[in-house]
Each structure stands twice: as C-alpha cells, then as structure tokens.
Amino acid sequence: MKVYKTNEISNLAIVGGSGAGKTTLTESMLLEGGIIRRRGSVNAKNTVSDCYPVEQEYGYSVFSTVFAIERGGHKLNMFDCPGSGDFSGGAVTALNICDIAMLVVNGAYGVEVGTQNNFRQAAKLHKPIVFVVNNIDSDKCDYDKVVEDLKRDFGGKVIPAQFPATCGPDFNSVIDVLTMKQYTYTADGTPAAVSDIPAALADKAQEMHDALVEAAAGGDEALMEKFFETMELTEDEMVEGIKKGLSQHGIYPVLCSSASKNVGVARILDFVAGVAPTVDEFPGTPNTKGEEVKCDASAPTSLFFFKTEMEQHIGEVCYFKVMSGTVKTGDDLNNATRGSKERIAQLFTPGRGNYRQLVDELQAGDLGCTVKLKDVKTGNTLNSKDADNLFDFIVYPNFKYSRAIRPENEADTEKMMTAANRLHEQDPTWVIEQSKELRQIIIHGQGEFHLRTLKWLLENNDKLSIIYDEPRIPYRETITKAARADYRHKKQSGGSGQFGEVHLIVEPYREGMPEPDTYKFGNQEYKMNIKDKQEIPMEWGGMLVVYNCIVGGAIDARFIPAIVKGIMDRMEQGPLTGSYARDVRVCIYDGKMHPVDSNEISFRLAARNAFSTAFRDANPKVLEPVYDVEILLPGDCMGGVQSDLQGRRGIMMDMSSANGMERVKARIPLKEMSNYSTALSSISGGRASFNMKFSSYELVPADVQAQLLKEYEESKQDED
C-alpha cells in the first residue's frame, strides 16, 4: 500500500445495533477493496472481524476490528464495532478516533435502541453521520418506512441518497439519486451494471434528487446562490456540497445495501470515498494541556495508542493514530505517559493477521499498528523529541454490572490478575479493582454477558478456573447524636505493664458547625477547653475532626497521636458492620496515665474501645450508596420498568420523551442494581438501555439495617 497524504485519508466508524449486519458489511467491503478474495460469513465462522474463538462461540462481535481500504485515490480506515451494548467500549473508541460515523440500520426492524444509542454517542462527539440501511433483502424490510422513522427520530437532516428498486428477497438493484443511475448486481459478484432509472421509478428518483440537491446546496453559500438561480447542481457540485454538509452536521445521507448478497456495497464505498471529508478538514484534537493539536504532517510527531490486541505467534499488536507529524520505520520516540523510550521497528496498515500490510511511513491522521514494543499500553502517547503532547480524550461509559472475581485455586490469583489486566488493554470497559474496603477483587463491566465473556476468555485462553461472587456493598456508618464513653486498658504480666485510660465524646459532624463548648449527659455537664484541632478528610468520603481538650496534664501530648490512631482504627472498620465510618467529631477531654506502664499501644487500644462504645450509644446508622440511573426504553415497556423499579426501592425523579423513546430518571440503591442489566433486557426484549452514576450515600431503612447488623454478627461468629 502506498503512503497516503493527510488530505487523502478518511477515518470511519461502522456502528449500529446488534444484528444490523456490520460484520457482514465489513466482509463485503474487504472483498470489494481487494483485501480478501472470498467473503466469509458469521454463520460459517470465517469472517475477518469475528476471528477470535469467543466471538465464534457466541456468534457476536466482542472486539472492534480496524482495517484499511483503498478507494478512488483515498485511503479509508474503518472500524467494525460490536453491536451489543455490553461491548460498547469498541464503539466509543472508534467514534473518538474516527471523524465520521457510518450508522448501520437493520432494514427489517428499523430504528432500534442500538441505533438510538450510537446516534446519541456520535452526536455527543460531534461526528458526521452516514446511515446505511442494511438487509434490504429481508421480506420484513420497508425501506420508505425506515427512512420515515429515521426522519422522525433524527430530524429533517436525514436525506436519502439512494433507494432500492424493490425490497425483499428480489432486491438486486439500487437507485442512486446523486448520479441518477440504477446499479444492478448479479449473484456472481461481477461489477454492477449501470443503467438509466426505469420510468416507473423516475418520479420518485427525481423527488429524492431534488431534496438531495437542496440539502447539498445548504452546505455552501456559493452553491446556495447557484441553486436559487438554476434550481440544479452538477454531480461534482453536489459532492462538494454533501461533503461540506457532512462536516457541518447539516446532512445525514442514507444509503442502502444487502451486505450478505454484496448488493450496493461497492456503491457505498464509492459514495463514501467521494463525499467523506478527509482528516485535515476537521478540527484538531486537544491535548491534556488544552492545546489543539492539528492534523499536520509537517508538525512534530505524536502517536496515540487506542487499542491493543493479542495475536497468537505475534504477541501484542498495538494500534495507534498519528495525531500529528509523520512516523517512519526505525523512528525513536518517547513515551510521554510512562517515561520510557520506544523504537518503531515495523509499521503496518491496520488489519488482522494476514490482512495488514507493511508500510514505510504513515502521515498525520492515518491509523496504523506495530509490534514488539517494550512498554506501551492502551491510552499511551509517543512523541518525537521535538513534541510535547499527552492525549487522554476517550471517556468510557460508567460500569453497569459488577462481580467479585476469584480463581478456584487461590494460588492462581496473581496469574488471574495479569490475564485480566491484559484483557483490560483489549477492552478498557473491563475494569479490575482490588478493593481494600470490600476485601475482594471486583471486575466491572457493561453487563452480564460482558463479564461472562471475560470469564470465557480466562478459562479457555488462560486455563484458569474462575468463580464469580456477589460483590459486597461499600456501606458507610455514621452517628446521629452525641454520646460519651471512657475505657481503661490495663494489662500486667510481669515487668512493665500496659495502662491507658481515655474519656471522649462523639457527635455527628457537619460542615460549618460551631466549635464544641459544653455537653450535658444525664445531670453532668462537660465543658470543653480546646487545645488542638485535627481535621482528617477520609479517603472514602466524609470527615473526622478530633479535638484535644485535655487539661491538667491528665494525658501527655505525646500520646495524642496514638489516641487518634485508635479512633482511626474504628473509622476504618466501623462497629456496626465493619464498614468505613464517616462524618464524626470527637472531643478527647480526660483520661489517666501511669508513669511507668503507659505507652502508645495502651492509649491506642483504650481509644479504640472508648470510641466503639460511644459510637454505639450515638444512635448509629448505616448509609448505602445510591446511584442516579437513566433508562431509555420504548413506551410499551414503561409499566414493566416502573413496577421493577418499585421492587428495587427506586425513586422516580423524572420522565420525558425523546426521539420516539421514553427516558426515565431514577435513584436506586447500589444493592438493588446487582442484576439490573439482565432484568431490564428481559423486560424490554433487549430494546432498553441504561447508564448509572454514583449520587450520594443515604440512610438504609430500619429493616435493612437490622438485617445487615445480624449478618455481620453471624459472620464474626463464623470467623471465631
């Protein structure tokens, strides 16, 4: 493959819902582009994209595939992205790296939740969108109805550039209203026969052509003036207008195909190669300093690594985008993320296995891959010596499903962590967390199927037997009133003993509250004489404030740090459920010490026990994490979703309609979200989606708290 200049390169992300036919479309594009000689099929398990055993096992795309095609003097870099919402990380990566979204719609079903989600993600990232209505050969397809639905949901910018001569199993020709020609395809894969549009379809074609001309003219003032004068544009002028309209998000062209029959695919490639803006026609990408890095081949070289694959007999294959400059074989670059140095020993066009090609250099905006790097991870930036960039622009969705993970053989824990972290490099939405608080290794993902796939990979590729457990909930403990306690720690066993006595008062902490003055418990008043104050922000949220109010030298100041450590021991393992405690204010006002037997450990133990007693007497409460959940669903599922939310202690916050779908906002405790992705899929038939984000900690109901305390006491007895 020749070296393409920046103004000859376009990057496209092929996205869409599950079952839209993206992998089959990719296979046909690779055939048309001369990359492969024979088209594979998903059913035969021999496609270029779905080449991993796990993808063939499940019949789903799990990882995105990057490939390059030469067409009409242009290089088209494309991503084939998984359609399942559980593997949305591939689409998020592709839409951030690419400049244009090719949104594939299943002609048999029209606009689905996957269509909505991918459109919303592309629009959020300000990416131009080209619709491809696939599976026109389905007997359920009504192309005109699909276009109507697209216009209803995504607005008047949806403009057909093609339509099928007929839908259903007899579909074999496309009417292109840009060229005003009919393209008829045969079963043997020969190039399409180009002919005039049949008289029966001429009026429909002219009407669509006029709409396309008007939309094309809207992207450029000079074209608009000519359109008003002549009411017509040449084909070249229309191409230029559509190109500008795409860049300005003023038009969403609609194309059509049957990827399984290779009908319309060649014309899609020609259309995209002709109208897709090249990488230099888009704004630059901001680095972490907020500086815009333009796509300029003459600038200093910066590479951003967006994907890592593991290939048998090769090892890690690292995919990158040339953010600026030109990279050549043999270049020495600095890893701005990790502080190491790398040499680019080989450069390839993007692709898998035999479908990638060696190249000598790649210019700004191009995508490529390389092998045998020493210390490069997904998300790293490599710079030439005269560049100073660092990129971190991809934001992945929050997790929706979590499980505690452990190997069946505890001795395999380190091996499991190494393998899981390697899989995170392939799909960053698999997030591994070693939770000190929960004393579990937690794996986060986008859904039950997402984590089941990771388990399959660990068990089949790494030969590790894996067990998933329910993750513990990160509860918090706090108090709701003031309480007083004292504790004497005394131990004598020959020689020097241990002695420490601590008197303290605890109360709830809130920001801005006045300094402590006088407390009354029973008939006795306790006046605080503040000598010192420590404000300790908790790593897990909230605050601990400790006052030294000791007078008369009852306890030496040298023992105060040990007392604070004892209090912190109980903040880290609360007296009620062993969870972290938060938002407590403590006044240490009295105590006793021994001139010989007092030491730090004595006061630490005394403080720990005094704090625990006072905490229990201060009407303690358990707090649970509550999440803001946003659900997008079809209207006919509303009743089932509302009923399910009530059973999960969910609180409805807002309801609205958007683009033919219902949007529900609710607040739900994390404990009730354990299997929500599976339940929502069951209720909606896979048509609904959701995202969740931490909101706050709230008091658990009394019955839930009683159950938590009972379970904690039972677990302590079991440990004993």
pLDDT in tens, 607-645: 999 999 999 999 999 999 999 999 988 888 999 999 999
Integer Cα distance of 174 and 160 in angstroms: 12
Q: What is the CATH number of the domain that holds 512?
A: 3.30.230.10
Do 441 and 487 share a structural domain?
Answer: no
Is the predicted pLDDT of residue 720 greater than 60, yes or no?
Answer: no
Q: What is the CATH number of the domain that holds 444?
A: 3.30.70.870
Do 686 and 669 share a structural domain?
Answer: yes
Domain boundary among 434, 450, 472: 472
For helices 113-124 and 88-97, what crossing angle results, to 10°?
Answer: 30
Q: Is the separation of the CB atoms in 552 and 589 below 8 Å?
A: no
Q: How confident is the model at residue 271 (pLDDT cuts 50, 70, 90)?
A: very high
Give the total number of structural domains in the chain.
5
Is the predicted pLDDT of residue 490 greater than 80, yes or no?
Answer: yes
Q: What is the CATH number of the domain that holds 358?
A: 2.40.30.10
Domain boundary among 440, 472, 504: 472
Do 455 and 375 share a structural domain?
Answer: no
Per-residue confidence (pLDDT) for residue 494, from 0 to 100: 66
Per-residue confidence (pLDDT) for residue 189, from 0 to 100: 66
Do 372 and 438 share a structural domain?
Answer: no
Q: Is residue 713 part of a domain?
A: no
pTM of the predicted model as reported, rounded to 2 decimal places: 0.86
Q: Is the separation of the CB atoms in 577 and 616 below 8 Å?
A: no
Q: Give the model confidence (pLDDT) of 52-97 as tens digits.
A: 888 888 888 899 999 999 998 999 999 999 998 889 999 999 999 9
Do 371 and 431 share a structural domain?
Answer: no
Q: Residue 526 is encoded by which pair of tokens?
A: 């306790």
Q: Give the model confidence (pLDDT) of 19-57 as tens digits.
A: 899 999 999 999 999 898 888 888 888 888 888 888 888
Q: Is residue 394 part of a domain?
A: no
Is the predicted pLDDT of residue 143 greater than 80, yes or no?
Answer: yes
Is the predicted pLDDT of residue 463 greater than 60, yes or no?
Answer: yes
Do 227 and 96 share a structural domain?
Answer: yes
Do 196 and 113 share a structural domain?
Answer: yes
Q: Give the model confidence (pLDDT) of 222-238 as tens digits.
A: 888 888 888 888 899 99
Do 685 and 552 share a structural domain?
Answer: no
Q: Mean of the per-residue pLDDT values for the chain?
A: 93
User: Hey, what's the torsion of the CAs at 618, 624, 627, 633, to 10 degrees?
Assistant: -130
Do 268 and 305 share a structural domain?
Answer: no
The percent of residues in the chain predicted with pLDDT above 70, rounded, is 99
Do 451 and 362 share a structural domain?
Answer: no
Do 570 and 440 share a structural domain?
Answer: no
Query: Among 288, 21, 232, which Cα is nearest to 132's?
Result: 21
Domain boundary among 234, 260, 279: 279
Is the predicted pLDDT of residue 593 greater than 90, yes or no?
Answer: yes
Q: What is the CATH number of the domain that holds 629?
A: 3.30.70.240
Q: Is residue 1 part of a domain?
A: no
What are the residues whose beta carbons fall under 8 Å from the beta carbon of 657, sequence distance 6 or more?
635, 663
Is the four-CA dihedral 336, 338, 342, 348 of positive or negative sign? negative
Integer Cα distance of 662 and 665 in angstroms: 10
Do 427 and 357 share a structural domain?
Answer: no
Q: Is residue 338 part of a domain?
A: yes
Q: Is residue 377 part of a domain?
A: yes
Residue 513: domain span: 477-619
Q: Is residue 715 part of a domain?
A: no
Q: Is residue 496 part of a domain?
A: yes
Q: Is residue 149 part of a domain?
A: yes
Q: Give the model confidence (pLDDT) of 508-555 as tens digits.
A: 999 999 999 999 999 999 999 999 999 999 999 999 999 999 998 899
